[in-house]
Structure 1
Amino acid sequence: MKALLPGSPDDADQPVLLGEAPEPAPKDDELVVSVEAYSVNRGETFQLDGGLDRRWPGWRPGKDVAGTVVCAAADGSGPAVGTRVVAHPPAFGWAERVAVASTGVAELPDSIDAVTAAALPLAGITALRLLRAAGPVAGRRVLITGASGGVGHYVTELAASSGAAVTAVVATPERGARLAELGAAEVVTSVAEATGPYDIVLEPVGGDSLPAALARLRPAGLLVWFGQASRTPVTLDFFDFFKGPGRARIAHFDYTVSDTTYGGDLAALVRLVETGRLHPEIGSVRDWSRTAEVIADLRARRVRGNAVLTLR
């Protein structure tokens, strides 16, 4: 089958190459999806340039896919052949077909197309689990940095609809326009413009952004650190954790650690989209032959929200 294979980490112009890959060999609890669309995440671009580990032999990128089941799981779990699904495999999804655990898929209603569905998995699951980690947000002031990506759009809409007053930090006003429409109470172009104090800070940028955001946390507030998109290590004064008589809290977040399955969270996201309570922000839709262009645009921060590629 055709698939996108990793290029050389030293060749920025060809991060992936279209080639041939073996057909999926599903385990008993896995089904095979014929892929119609997939989305590209910044974490995958880091893997392609060697910045993150590739944990599987013969690794190929691809975590967010939508398509149709063409081979049901041998153990009888999961949807039947012919069912339209959205899925979150651990890798290998930028291909004509991919094997996915039955616990990592959710059925799609006719009202949600493959392009919309493909934007849901990594960013949507991360947003859901991030807000669970943050705790109740109704009536709370929430600051999210690096908010113009897929996760930021989902978090902003979900938190605002739950009663939070969200301040979104973005690089430019243009990149933040949609966040205001999704319910952000304030959109700023730097952490320095965010007045605070905030009850909750959600921080995926790292570098100088994290200590600046931490300084805007109220006493006994919570900062959830869930990434380092700047690729710059954080330097932090330990005593910045302390705010007056209370103690600031900082928590590291890993979206893969949860008491819910990917499929369960995908089903929740599908319901939210179907009922008009969640609106995926898709900044680019192109044929999968143009994946290298999309990766370049993501690296240069030219895509707002999610970037989706289509196979048909």
Structure 2
Amino acid sequence: MKRLIATGERARPVEFAEDAQPVPAADEALVRVEAFSVNRGETFLLENPRPDLRPGKDVAGLVVRAAADGSGPGVGMRVVGHPPCGGWAEYVAVPTHSLAVLPPAIGSTEAAALPLAGLTALRMLRTAGAVAGRRLLLTGASGGVGHYLTELAAAAGAEITVVTASPERGRRLAELGADVVHDLGETRGPFDVVLESTGGTALPVALSKLAAGGMLIWFGQASRTPATLDFFDFFNGPEGAVIRHFHYAGAPYGPDLDTLVTLVGSGRLHPEIGRVADWADTATVLVDLRERRVRGKAVLTVGGPR
């Protein structure tokens, strides 16, 4: 079968290679991949790749071999999955606890945009707690996580302000109910919850916007610049505030994927897909994603549009 492997080259970070079809473990289903999405964090891993790197964590496709232990979906079922690796290929083995069955109304292209970004947004909102009537601030909002989080938070009754680099990158976020700004320093706090994904100089500015008793959740460093905090400023600032690190990871993913699929199927969540291309163009799409030329999610189809 074909799979994409890392080259270590900045201009063309992946290329096709022939590989053996994966042999699933007893609790894994073999999925024929119809579409996969790529994430900006994965582009950074490709810059200095490990020799054994097999990228790909967001897939949708068809089960062609059910798990030997009898768990999970059967042969012929369409699924969305979040494997630990190896999804940029014609076939991937996925633990059944990290699969969700797709209804006929949701295509593979749409489904493939859900896992990492959708799981991050869903689990981060749980970390934030009840948001109805609360003021939220989200930095670096124009990617997949930002669109999902904005729609979910607004639907839950939050008053959400998002920071994007340009009006175009914030257009859809405004439609989803956000107040869009382009300069973090100009946001009008204080905010009950600050969700910070940029790092660098943005983190201390975001912290200064936090209300007394509020929570800052740090979940990324998109700027790739280390952040420095002056804790004297923090202790002299919002009384009783909390700084918390967040990372979405932790199987099982299946129940939360089911939730995301249900929300999409009922029209309450809309994947924002800024680029769809054949997987022959994956290298170009990865470069554009790394250089912030894609708004929302980028999805690659395997064997034609789905």
Q: Does 1:95 align with 2:89?
A: yes
Aligned to 2:54: 60
Post-superposition shift, 1:59? 2.1
Q: Distance in 1 between matches of 2:223 and 2:273?
A: 22
Aligned with residue 210 of structure 1, among 203, 207, 231? 203
Report the CA distance shift for 1:276/1:73 in structure 2 as closer, same or farther (over 3 A): same
Matched residue of 1:109: which SS? coil
AA at the equivalent of 1:287: D
2:100 counterpart residue number: 106
Q: Is the 8 A contact 1:34 1:67 kept in 2?
A: yes
Q: How many residues align?
A: 303
Partner Cα separation in structure 1 for residue 109 and residue 224 of structure 2:
29
RMSD: 1.2
After the TM superposition, which residues 173-252 of structure 1 pair with which residues of structure 2 at under 5 Å, given as runs?
Answer: 173-184=167-178, 186-242=179-235, 246-252=239-245
Gaps of 5+ in 1: none
Confirm or deny that 1:167 pairs with 2:156.
Answer: no
Give the fraction of aligned pairs with identical amino acids, expressed as a percent: 63
Q: Distance in 2 between matches of 1:30 and 1:80?
A: 11
Contact 2:31 2:91 in 1 (8 A): yes
Alignment of 1:33-44 (within 5 A): 33-44=31-42
**1:271 matches 2:267:** no
State the TM-score, normalized to the length of structure 1. Answer: 0.95
Counterpart pick for 1:13 among 11, 14, 17: 11
Work out the CA distance in 2 between the residues paired with 1:273 and 1:245: 38
Once the 2 structures are TM-superposed, how far is the Cα of residue 14 of structure 1 from its aligned partner? 1.6
Answer whether contact 1:88 1:105 (CA < 8 A) is retained: yes
Counterpart selection for 1:77 from 52, 71, 78: 71
Q: Normalising by the residue count of structure 2, what TM-score does the alignment of the two structures yield?
A: 0.97
Alignment of 1:127-146 (within 5 A): 127-146=121-140
Does residue 115 of the first structure (1) align with residue 113 of the second (2)?
Answer: no
Q: Secondary structure at the match of 2:86?
A: coil
8 Å contact kept, 2:208–2:237: no
Of 299, 302, 305, 1:308 maps to 299
8 Å contact 2:210–2:238 — kept in the other structure?
Answer: no
Q: Which runs of 5+ in 2 are unaligned?
A: none
1:150-193 residue CA offsets vs partner (Å, 9 max, x unmatched): 00000000000000000010000110000011111x10012112
Q: Which residue of 1 aligns with 2:23?
A: 25
Residue 66 of structure 1 aligns to a residue whose secondary structure is: strand
User: 8 Å contact 1:141–1:164 — kept in the other structure?
Assistant: yes
Instruction: Give the deviation of 1:245 after TM superposition.
Output: 6.9
- 1:219–1:243 Cα contact (<8 Å) kept: no
